[in-house]
Structure 1
Amino acid sequence: MYQIGNIYIITAIAVIGGGLFGFDISSMSAIIGTNQYKCYFNQGPHGPDLDGDADCSGPRADVQGGITASMPGGSFIGALVSGYLSDKLGRKTSIQIGCIIWVVGSIIVCASQNIGMLIAGRFINGFSVGICSAQVPVYVSELAPPSKRGRVVGAQQWAITWGILIMFYISFGCNYIDGTAAFRIPWGIQMLPAIGLFIGLLFLPESPRWLAKHDKWEECHSVLTLVHGKGDPNAPFVAMEMSEIKRMIEFERNNANVSYMELFKPKMLNRLHIGIFTQVWSQLTGMNVMMYYITYVFGMAGLSDNSNLIASSIQYVINVGMTIFALVFIDRWGRRAPLVIGALLMATWMYANAGLMASYGSPAPPGGVDNVPEESWVITGAPSKAVIACTYLFVASYAPTWGPVSWIYPPELFPLRVRGKAVALTTSSNWIFNFALSYFVPPAFVNIQWKVYIIFGVFCTAMAIHTFFLFPETSGKTLEDVEEMFLSGVPAWKTRVEWQNTRKAEAGDLNDKEKALHEHSPERVEDAKHA
Structure 2
Amino acid sequence: MDDSKVATSHGVSGYSHLLNPRRKWYNNKRLIMLNFWILLFLITSTASGYDGSMMNGLQSIPQWRDYFNHPSGSKLGLLNAIQHIGSLAGYPFTPFLTDGLGRRPTVFLGALIMCLATILQTSAQSVGMFIGARCLIGFGLSFTAAGTPLLVTEISYPSYRGPLTSTYNSLWAGGSIIAAWTTFGTFKIPSTWSWRIPSALQGLPSVLQVALVLFAPESPRWLISKGRDIQALKTLAYYHADGDENDALVQYEFNEIKSALDFDRNVAANIGWKALFSTPGNRKRMRIIIAIAFFSQWSGNGLVSYYLNKVFDSIGITDPTIQLLINGVLTIWNLAWGLLAASLVDRVGRRPLFLISTAGMLVFFTLQTVCSAQFAIHGSDAAAHAVIAFIFLFYASYDLAFLPLIVSYTVEILPFPLRAKGFTIYNIALSLSLIFNQYVNPLALDAIGWKYYIVYCCWLVFELVFLYFFVVETRNKSLEETAALFDGEEAAEHIKATALGVPTEFFDHDEKKEGSSNENVVVIDRA
Q: Normalising by structure 2, report the TM-score.
A: 0.83
Secondary structure, aligned partner of 1:284: coil
> Residues of 2 paired with 1:6 and 1:124: CA distance?
32
C-alpha separation between the residues in 2 aligned to 1:136 and 1:459?
A: 31
In structure 1, C-alpha distance between the alignment counterparts of 2:374 and 2:204, rounded to whole Å: 46
Secondary structure in 2 aligned to 1:293? helix
Instruction: Indicate whether 1:467 and 2:476 are aligned.
Output: no
Q: How does 1:2-401 map to 2 (within 5 A)?
A: 6-42=33-69, 58-251=70-263, 254=266, 258-267=271-280, 268-303=282-317, 304-361=319-376, 381-401=381-401
In the superposition, relative to structure 1, how do residues 461 and 252 fare at CA in structure 2: closer, same or farther (>3 Å)? closer
Q: CA deviation at 1:379?
A: 5.2
Q: CA deviation at 1:449?
A: 0.8
Distance 2:82 2:127 in 1: 11
Taking the aligned partners of 1:505 and 1:331, their CA distance within structure 2 comes to 27
Distance 1:82 1:5 in 2: 29
Does the residue aligned with 2:473 lie in a helix, a strand or coil?
A: coil
Q: Matches of 1:269 and 1:482 in 2, distance apart? A: 9
Distance in 2, matches of 1:248 and 1:336, equals 25
Measure, in 2, the Cα distance between the counterparts of 1:439 and 1:486.
Answer: 46
- Is the Cα contact below 8 Å between 1:71 and 1:435 reproduced in 2? no
TM-aligned CA distance change 1:161 to 1:505, over 3 Å: farther
Residue matched to 1:408: 408
Separation in 2 of the partners of 1:435 and 1:289? 13
In structure 2, what is the Cα distance between the partners aligned to 1:134 and 1:504? Answer: 42
| 2:488 match | 484
Q: Which moved more, 1:348-357 or 1:503-512?
A: 503-512
**Do 1:11 and 1:140's aligned partners in 2 also have CA atoms closer than 8 Å?**
yes
Counterpart of 1:358 in structure 2: which amino acid? A
Contact map agreement 2:81 2:435 (CA 8 A) in 1: yes
Q: Which amino acid aligns with 1:72?
A: H
Please give the alpha-carbon distance, in whole angstroms, between the structure 2 residues aligned to 1:394 and 1:512: 49
Counterpart of 2:495? none
Alignment root-mean-square deviation, CA: 2.7
Equivalent pair of 2:153/2:412 in contact (CA under 8 Å): no
The unaligned stretches of length 5 or more in structure 1 are: 43-57, 363-377, 488-499, 517-531
Q: Judge conservation of contact 1:272–1:422 (CA < 8 Å) in 2.
A: yes
Q: What is the identity, as a one-letter code, of the residue corresponding to 1:132?
A: T
Q: CA deviation at 1:154?
A: 0.5
Deviations 1:124-144 (A, max 9, x none): 111122222222110111101
Cross-structure match for 1:509 = 521
Cα separation, 2, equivalents of 1:229 and 1:98: 32
Cα shift readout 1:286-305 (whole Å, capped 9, x = no counterpart) = 22431222222223222212
Letter in structure 1 aligned against 2:128: G
- So what's the TM-score if we normalise by structure 1? 0.82
Report if aligned partners of 2:261, 2:417 keep a CA contact under 8 Å in 1: no
Give the Cα separation in 1 of the matches to 2:50 and 2:277.
36
Structure 2 Cα separation of the partners of residues 474 and 232 of structure 1: 29
C-alpha distance after superposition, 1:479-531 (max 9, x if no partner): 344432699xxxxxxxxxxxx9xx79824224428x99xxxxxxxxxxxxxxx
- The match for 1:448 is 448
Q: CA deviation at 1:204?
A: 1.4
Residue type of the partner of 1:422? G
Q: How many residues align structurally? A: 471
For structure 2, the residue ranges without an aligned partner over 5 or more in a row are 1-28, 492-511
Following the alignment from structure 1 to structure 2, what is the Cα–Cα distance between the partners of residues 347 and 249?
Answer: 41
Partner of 1:47: none
Q: CA deviation at 1:319?
A: 0.1
Aligned residues of 1:336 and 1:473 also touching (Cα < 8 A)? yes
Shift of 1:228: 1.1
Contact 2:293/2:427 (<8 A) preserved: yes
Q: Distance in 2 between matches of 1:379 and 1:200?
A: 54
Amino acid paired to 1:314: V
